[in-house]
Amino acid sequence: MIEERYSLSLLRIKKIGDETIVTDPYRDFFVNTSDFLIRMDEEYERVQSGRIKSETLSILEKENRKLYEELLGEAYESSYANPQYCVRLFGMEYGQLFSFLYTEMRALIVYAYEQDQEAMAIRMELFLEIYHSFYFACEQGEPIPTPAQVRDICYWFLSDYSETETEKRVKHQLDPAHDFAASIIQTADLEDLRYLYFYGEFIGENECGTARMLNAMSEEEIAKIADTYTEGFRIGFIMGNKDLSKKKVVNIRYSIGFERVIRKAISNFKEMGLQPAIYRAGESVFNKKSNLKIGFYGAIPNKQYEFDHKEDDALFLDKLLMNRKLEVLKAAYETQKELAFVHAGPAVMEVFGETPFVPVSKKEACRYSEEQQKISVEYASKAGALVNEYIRGEERSFTIIAFPVPEIGEQYEEIFQEIVKINTLDYKRYETIQQTIIDALDGSEYVEIKGSNGNKTDFRVSLLQPQNPEKETIFENCVADVNIPVGEVFTSPVLKGTSGTLFVSRVFLNELEYQNLEVVFEDGKIVSYNCSNFEEEEENKKYIKDNVLFHHETLPLGEFAIGTNTAAYVCAKKYGIEDKLPILIAEKMGPHFAVGDTCYSHSEDVKVYNPNKKEIIARDNEVSILRKTDVSKAYVNCHTDITIPYDEIGSLSAVKPNGEKVLIISAGRFVLPGCEELNLPFAEV
């Protein structure tokens, strides 16, 4: 039936170019989009026939670029994928809808490579339904469909196919039998870079350069990288007091080009009894999560394009659709509940080093209304709670590690080796030093942080008081497990009394830059915020609310930590890559503050211990504890770390109940006795 629907749709699409009933500018849009869909059918056949695997590297490169060239550079300015261009042609309402429609059609690229004919067919049918609404109106001399009518067609497409698309997405997330990427990783000749083009993702020099460099490494070097990654995952279960033996599936997330490391990692995980579930980062309105890439992915041809379309569902989002999405999400997890039960969590390999992206906020791009922001927040909360029913937080873990890509600069290979060293630092040495810091913090009433060198931070973080200091502690001694590299002590602060100004001159959060970011807290919750990215203050505040607060009116301070990885800080200074490091490494390069959920989100009742056997009791705060009475009020389903670099820290002190101050950092250096070794790398700056 799907084959028949696909064939009939394609047959109709092929006739559009010869039809003149619909007049310009609409005809031009429909003809060009139909040409694109015909190309996608050709791409489908190219993959299905196996012809793609016999083509030369140069042909594969050329064909790959053709698929994405309209998003690159100046070409994007006149692409229907650009909402600004569409609005200029069709006006605001039609323009946003047509740009959304064209963007959804571009998802056919990856469906052609995965041979998902159903996904292709339903989108072709959506396109035809909208085309026919214009065609028959013009044929009968009636007014063309209104934007509201076009919107309704898209709305019911999204509603009607939510079940199909959600079932598929959940299955891909949980089921190792969906082995599209795993098959490439495990069976391709990785020395032949043609394999990079078998995914359907855009492939650039970062992907090719990474693969070439890894191919030049010895088996021992590859094993060292993979072992650090997989051991971090395993140790995470041990440190979190969780039973890995119950689990059978691990979700591997990576960037294309790292296949040689991932192949070894898959082998390591199999020795732990875990099979890989590897799914693609969202490519459709059904499964995108803002502009974030969660899953495997290739090069991002245009980050502005991703930013422009991160809230396309603002065209449709309402309470009815939200409830529909929650309904089908629950049904999908119920169908896959056995696999969900044995899901161990994600093992994430991030990349960094790309040219920092500073987005342009376009009025033509879709953005949530205030009501939709509330709906979005409500959906995230309920969806998070629902997923946790099936993949329980207290039974799963994760790990994250990051490596640079060639775009980081001419010293790429040297930087890569430095990062390998940082990711494999002797955690036992850090464990001892960090325990010294924890001993100074335990029993303190609060921590006081003051900025310097233009940094306006003046902040007080309230701390929980251990009732049994011999057996209890409030800071976790973070070794190289879930968050690699080693180098931090962290806690869930007491919100009451946690107040003041948090400031950082420049920071990158979720790949977006913030200049002079200033966040003010009262009793542990954000009360105001601003930055200097844009000329208009309103635009700056909206930028933060959309991308840091994720549409919440406020967020609690979920974590306070002191980063101790001065080696990473010095590496960043040495190579001038401070603006290119991921938060995973940057958070270890100074004190950091996470807004959102605590680090123990959904696992607060699991007892965890430091290496010295003391139980870490600061796992809750006044928000997360609400799970005892109303779980919908306990979690905000986000966690964003904001780090103040050492060179912007004037002082960081632990303040005892009697007012005594124990200075830990002064003028960007550790001054607490027992921490002198942390200052040694600074000599290289």
Residues 69 and 181 in one domain: no
Total count of domains within the chain = 3
| CB contact at 8 A, 456 and 503 | yes
Report percent pLDDT > 90 for the chain.
88
Q: Retrieve residue 273's tokens.
A: 């009894």
For the chain, what is the mean pLDDT?
A: 95
In a domain? residue 62: yes
Q: What is the mean pLDDT of residues 502-527?
A: 93
Query: Which of 577, 254, 600 minimizes the C-alpha distance to 402?
Result: 254
Query: Which of 168, 188, 186 minimizes the C-alpha distance to 122?
Result: 168
Q: What's the confidence (pLDDT) of residue 509? A: 87
Q: What is the mean pLDDT of residues 448-453?
A: 96
Q: What's the confidence (pLDDT) of residue 244? A: 96
Residues 212 and 78 in one domain: no
In a domain? residue 353: yes
d(CA 683, CA 679): 8
Q: What's the confidence (pLDDT) of residue 147? A: 97
Q: What is the mean pLDDT of residues 451-475?
A: 95
**Residue range of the domain that includes 472:** 425-684
Q: What is the mean pLDDT of residues 525-539?
A: 95
Q: What's the confidence (pLDDT) of residue 578? A: 87
Residues 640 and 557 in one domain: yes
Among 88-97, 321-330, 400-409, 475-484, the range scoring the smallest mean pLDDT is 475-484
Dmax over CA atoms of the chain, in Å, equals: 86
User: pLDDT tier at 375 (50, 70, 90 boundaries)?
Assistant: very high
Residues 141 and 231 in one domain: no
Q: What's the confidence (pLDDT) of residue 313? A: 95
Q: What's the confidence (pLDDT) of residue 446? A: 97
Q: What's the confidence (pLDDT) of residue 480? A: 64
126-146 per-position pLDDT tens digit: 999 999 999 999 999 999 999
Q: What's the confidence (pLDDT) of residue 653? A: 97
In a domain? residue 253: yes
Query: Which of 349, 341, 351, 436 minimizes the C-alpha distance to 401?
Result: 349
570-601 per-position pLDDT tens digit: 999 999 998 888 888 988 999 999 999 999 99
- Give the number of other Cβ atoms within 10 Å of residue 501's Cβ: 16
User: If DSSP codes are grouped into helix, strand and coil, which group holds residue 33?
Assistant: helix
| CB contact at 8 A, 372 and 314 | yes
User: pLDDT tier at 508 (50, 70, 90 boundaries)?
Assistant: confident
Q: What is the mean pLDDT of residues 430-457?
A: 95
Strand boundaries in 591-646, DSSP class E: 591-596, 615-616, 639-643
Map tokens 């980063």 to a residue.
563
Q: What's the confidence (pLDDT) of residue 176? A: 97
| CB contact at 8 A, 253 and 154 | no
pLDDT of residue 241 exceeding 90, the answer is no
Q: What's the confidence (pLDDT) of residue 27? A: 97
d(CA 244, CA 227): 17
pLDDT of residue 118 exceeding 80, the answer is yes
Residues 344 and 445 in one domain: no
Residues 114 and 180 in one domain: no
Q: What is the mean pLDDT of residues 260-278?
A: 98
Beta-carbon contacts of 432 under 8 Å, excluding residues fewer than 6 positions away, are none
Among 68-72, 99-103, 271-275, 603-607, the range scoring the smallest mean pLDDT is 603-607
298-354 per-position pLDDT tens digit: 999 999 999 999 999 999 999 999 999 999 999 999 999 999 999 999 999 999 999
In a domain? residue 403: no
Residues 238 and 307 in one domain: yes
pLDDT of residue 684 exceeding 80, the answer is no
pLDDT of residue 193 exceeding 80, the answer is yes
User: pLDDT tier at 70 (50, 70, 90 boundaries)?
Assistant: very high
In a domain? residue 162: no
pTM (two decimals): 0.89
In a domain? residue 296: yes
Residues 454 and 553 in one domain: yes
Q: Retrieve residue 350's tokens.
A: 């991030």
Residues 111 and 80 in one domain: yes
In a domain? residue 411: no
User: If DSSP codes are grouped into helix, strand and coil, which group holds residue 433?
Assistant: helix
pLDDT of residue 72 exceeding 70, the answer is yes
Residues 386 and 443 in one domain: no
Among 303-307, 425-429, 608-612, the range scoring the smallest mean pLDDT is 425-429
Residues 145 and 177 in one domain: no
In a domain? residue 165: no
Residues 184 and 118 in one domain: no
User: pLDDT tier at 84 (50, 70, 90 boundaries)?
Assistant: very high
Helices (H), 336-424: 337-341, 370-390, 412-423
